[in-house]
Chain A
């Protein structure tokens, strides 16, 4: 990007304002701290591509979105846990099963974190995983089609926040519960019996190495506390997982105060290889649990939901050496392992320092039983015994840390609204920049892997205020891009985002671009109602159901005249897009439909259910501008009274009454 010759003359050219260090969390006037060449650093000329795919969680929109870096341009929203009327996700008959859960159809969720699949600790560009925070689930997105292809519900969880962090070779993603909850046969207990009845569960979800299918390999039963975030070990610490915890006070009300009593909560270190050994030795117990497992079948273009009834559990209070606690100051949030796998950075939300733990020291402390005691039957390692050192006076409210490829860490500070760069080994603070405003997560391309790509850090800010043109009480969420290729971080771009992004990962474009699927082969379409050619279109009655097998191609729908539907019938439009060319979706909508439209990709079949509530003529049409004659891509369906004897018939291009206008 540096070689770009185009330098836009800028209106944003720039008075270097004094960088105020300890900013309050109260927004200041919009700062202009960009430097002269900022615009050219973030500028991608028309027709050129971005350097990175930026896969961003959508928070309360329940989706993921794909941006380009460094331009900050939004390319796509991928519906995951929430219905998306724009393309029919969760509305079409094929996609509804993907949102099935043990609580029935759940059309919304809160997607916080992204994990991209890795091999040997490095990005491999195969899948993106996301977590559902509200009705606990994890999802897998195929990076060839940018489509959600699997959703797995998590039993015994009360809110899947500590998820979906991934191990070095994508062996597992994890799912730690934010709320401890009562589990088992009787969960109708007084809330005040928290200590006695409430448990926290951590699920280890295995990933099939060839097709990626997820399965709950085992759950660890842990004391009733809250799990916040996590990271896997890597390199020397591969085989371990680190979770931040809060509410070790085990409060069940006014957590704001009551869960902030203790000077230290814990980082929980999990030896998952040990857990695997116990399972091999038959120490796991099978426990009843009801949860949904939904898988997308690309050959039938249909999701299939299966209700599962069992999980394998391990109890670390009985099975020693699986978990250890490490004290960590003041409600740790981020818990991040550096690229070497030696250092684990804990960020206490309310702490004024950042403790950095050493994996080597943790191992030595375990070997020497350097414990300060036990918590709920689990050994607690002495703080000093595990500690590499503390970053002193880094800022206020440290949240998350990511890493570059030069041994540096970047920590976000919510309260003081800044990013602080420091050296992981020496713990020395190297630079700090303000963010606008109140940064949550931050993201360096490849930051959580063994081989960070470096170059940029993106701040995902929680408060927007005056950064953009105001749009009433509700504002877009603001992201900021900083160049980190030099010694000093440089703000080069502000960009608005969709939803409520929490976390993101970025991956070099060349790892994704060549594999991006352009069409689905119509030959391979095994949908039960596919029409492989207009000759196969038909309308069939099955009792009160009318199934229309329809095709779409520029620019007509076949059939486009349908009669013989009666009030009380349910009509299923199974639309096959016959195009085999890239970027030619067709859409389908029918008047009065109580759901949405469907967007059908080339070679795909998708179904819209429609239940007419009155008699008459109902128009339908293609919703995706597909050709010069797109406006003509339309048709009619006739609905007659329940008892009528209008025969079922359908056609395209057939002019029945030669005397009518069309026949002339």
Chain B
């Protein structure tokens, strides 16, 4: 049942983002089998089961992502590899699946409770990453910004 909700959620995700839905034209292509998505532990735990990523990057998303970062994340995360309170974000999109990143942002309490990777980070930083109350759209914007920070075009 929980999974079903998850799947439904992942379908409506981008329609409830605060902006017009991104042109996910190649959705079917990027969409792998739903079952695989559910059971893939590297995607983390939470409502985000599948993220479609397009190129070139969506510049509007990046702009909004920067604003959210400055207001709600920058106090603890740098854009390079330097750890302040939390880990630096350099190459995070290469280390982590996009779903994992968004679940970490949106469902951090459960992630810190149950996800092994998140728990390793907690042991390292000794400080619980706060839930900064982002919408799914905000988290997706952040992800786009992280991709740009990692050199994608």
> Which A residues fall within an 8 A CB radius of B?
519, 521-523, 532-536, 551, 553-556, 558, 578-581, 584, 627-629, 653
Given A554-B85, A556-B85, A653-B84, A581-B74 contact (CB < 8 Å): no
Q: Scoring B residues 98 to 131 as 1 if CB is less than 8 Å from chain A, else 0, what string do you get?
A: 0000000000000000000000000000111011
B128, A580: Cβ atoms under 8 Å? no
A534 touches B133 (CB 8 A): no
- Among A519, A553, A629: residue with most chain B CB under 10 A: A553
From residue B82, how far is it (CB to closest CB) to chain A in Å?
A: 10
- A535 to B79 CA separation, bound complex (whole angstroms): 14
Q: How far is the CA of A580 from the CA of B68 in the complex (A)?
A: 12
B132 at the A interface (CB under 8 A): yes
Q: How far is the CA of A553 from the CA of B71 in the complex (A)?
A: 11
Cα separation A333 to B70 with both chains bound (whole Å) = 60
Min CB gap B70→A, angstroms? 4
B121 shortest CB reach to chain A, Å: 14
Q: Does A578 contact B75, Cβ atoms closer than 8 Å?
A: yes
Say yes or no for B90: interface residue by CB 8 A criterion. Answer: no
Given the known interface contacts A521-B133, A579-B130, the answer about A553 and B70 at a Cβ–Cβ threshold of 8 Å is: no
Q: How far is the CB of B149 from chain A (nearest CB, A)?
A: 16
Residues in A neighbouring B84, C-beta threshold 8 A: 653
The 3 closest A-B pairs by CB, nearest first: A580-B133, A533-B70, A533-B71
Q: Is the CB of A558 within 8 A of B132?
A: no
Which of chain B's residues has its CB closest to A629's CB?
B127
Binding site for A on B (CB under 8 A): 70-72, 74-76, 84-85, 126-128, 130-133
A453 to chain B, nearest CB (A): 34
Bound Cα distance A521, B132 (Å): 10
Q: List chain B residues, Cβ under 8 A from A555.
A: 85, 127
Apart from A534-B74, A653-B84, what 4 extra A-B contacts exist at CB < 8 Å? A522-B72, A533-B72, A536-B70, A551-B75
The smallest C-beta distance from B20 to any residue of chain A, in angstroms, reads: 20
- Does the CB pair A535–B74 fall under 8 Å? yes
- Which of A534, A551, A584: most chain B CB closer than 10 A? A534
Least CB separation from B84: chain A residue:
A653
- B71–A628 touching, CB < 8 Å: no
Q: Is the CB of B130 within 8 A of A581?
A: yes
Known: A554-B127, A555-B85. A581 touches B133 (CB 8 A): yes
Measured CA separation A555–B84 after assembly (Å):
10
Across-interface contacts of A533 in B (CB, < 8 A): 70-72, 74-75
B133 touches A556 (CB 8 A): no
| Separation of A290 and B131 alpha carbons in the complex (Å) | 47
Cα distance, A535 to B70, chains bound together (Å): 7
B128 near A627 with CB under 8 A, answer yes
Please determine whether A627 and B127 come into contact, CB atoms closer than 8 angstroms.
Answer: yes
- Cβ contacts under 8 Å, B85 to chain A: 553-556
Give the docked Cα–Cα distance between A583 and B85 (Å): 19
Distance of A536 Cα from B75 Cα, bound (Å): 11
In the complex, which residues of chain B have a beta carbon less than 8 angstroms from the beta carbon of A584?
Answer: 130
Q: Is the interface of B mostly helix, strand, loop or mixed?
A: loop
Residues of A within 8 A of B126 (CB): 628-629
Write 8 A-B pairs (CB below 8 A) sorted by A numbering.
A533-B75, A534-B74, A553-B130, A556-B85, A579-B130, A580-B132, A627-B127, A653-B84
CB-defined contacts of B132 to chain A, threshold 8 Å = 579-581
Residue of B nearest to A522 (CB): B71
User: How far is it, in angstroms, between the C-alpha of A584 and the C-alpha of B131 when the chains are bound?
Assistant: 10
Whether A556 lies near B130 (C-beta < 8 A) is: no
Cα of A159 to Cα of B133 in the assembled complex, Å? 46
Report the minimal beta-carbon distance from A103 to chain B, rounded to whole angstroms. 42
B141 to chain A, nearest CB (A): 13
Q: Which residue of B lies closest to A627 (CB)?
A: B127
Which B residues are in CB contact (< 8 Å) with A580?
72, 130-133
| Chain A residue nearest in CB terms to B126 | A628
Contact A534 B127 (CB under 8 A): no
Q: CB distance A578 to B72 under 8 Å?
A: yes
User: Closest residue of chain A to B128, judged by CB?
Assistant: A627
Q: A558 to chain B: which residues have CB within 8 Å?
A: 75
Q: Which residues on the B side are within 8 Å of A579 (C-beta)?
A: 130, 132
Q: Which of A522, A556, A581 has the most CB of B within 10 A?
A: A581
Give the nearest-CB partner of A536 in chain B.
B70
For A534, what are the chain B residues with a Cβ–Cβ distance below 8 Å? Answer: 74-75
| Docked CA distance A558–B75 (Å) | 9
B131: A residues at CB distance < 8 A: 580-581
Chain A proximity of B146: nearest CB distance (Å): 17
Question: For B128, what are the chain A residues with a Cβ–Cβ distance below 8 Å?
Answer: 554, 627
- Distance (Å) between the CB of A588 and the closest chain B CB? 16
A584: nearest residue on chain B (CB-CB)? B130
Q: How far is the CA of A523 from the CA of B126 in the complex (A)?
A: 28
Quote the shortest CB–CB distance from A400 to chain B (angstroms): 45
- B76 pairs with A628, CB closer than 8 A: no
Shortest C-beta distance, B126 to chain A (Å), equals: 5
- Residues in B whose Cβ lies below 8 Å from that of A519: 133
Cβ–Cβ < 8 Å partners of A521 in chain B = 133
Contact B72 A556 (CB under 8 A): no
Q: A519-B133, A555-B127 are in contact. Are A532 and B71 (CB under 8 A)?
A: yes
State in angstroms the CA–CA spacing of A580 and B133 once bound together. Answer: 6
- Complex alpha-carbon distance, A558 and B76, angstroms: 11
The residue of chain B having its C-beta at the shortest distance from the C-beta of A653 within the complex is B84
Cβ contacts under 8 Å, A629 to chain B:
126-127
- A117 to B133: give the CA distance in the assembly, Å: 31
Q: Which residues from chain B contact A554 at a C-beta distance below 8 Å?
A: 76, 85, 127-128, 130
Complex: A555 Cα to B130 Cα, angstroms: 11
Chain B min CB distance to A319 (Å): 55
Closest partner residue, chain A, to B76 (CB atom): A553
CA distance A203 to B77 in the complex (A): 56
Asked if A532 contacts B70 (CB within 8 A), the reply is: yes
Complex Cα distance, B71 from A523, in Å, reads 9
Which chain A residue shows the least CB distance to B69?
A533
Query: Hey, which chain B residues are within 8 Å of A551, CB to CB?
Result: 75
How many angstroms between the C-alpha atoms of A534 and B130 in the bound complex?
16
A531 — nearest CB in chain B belongs to which residue? Answer: B71
Specify which chain A residues have a CB less than 8 angstroms from the CB of B76 in the assembled complex: 553-554
Chain A neighbourhood of B127, CB < 8 A: 554-555, 627-629
Q: Which residue of B lies closest to A532 (CB)?
A: B71
